[in-house]
Amino acid sequence: MIVQIAVIGTFGLIGLGILTMIISGIKGATQGKQDPKRILIMATPFVVFGISYFAVQGSELPLATAGVLTMAVMMGIMVLGVVITGLRSTFKF
């Protein structure tokens, strides 16, 4: 019973966090405070999830598989970004 309550609470907090980010992004975009590139960067995980969901549509658990695939792709993008940033600062270009 406690596990179900914890899982529901976790999903609720994740949902509130996502909703807050969306509202904040829309508010900043309408007031001209946000750069459109930053808003597109925030949408990247959702786009990657959508692509991975349609790519694994025939699997047994498509949502779970797409979630894990999205995490792996985003971690790969993060590692690539760290490497590129490190190389750029090392070689000063």
> What are the tens digits of pLDDT across the range 55-88?
999 888 999 999 999 999 999 999 999 999 998 8
**Total count of domains within the chain:** 2
Same domain, 62 and 51: yes
Question: DSSP readout, 27-49?
Answer: HHHHTT-S-HHHHHHHHHHHHHH
61 HSE (CA, 13 A, CB side) = 5
Sorted by sequence, the CB contacts under 8 Å of residue 40 that are 6+ apart come out as none
Q: What is the pTM of this model?
A: 0.63
| 33 or 21: which leads in pLDDT | 21
Cα gap 91→14, rounded to integer Å? 40
Same domain, 42 and 8: no
The residue range of the domain holding 92 is: 36-93
- The whole-number average pLDDT for the span 43-56 is 93
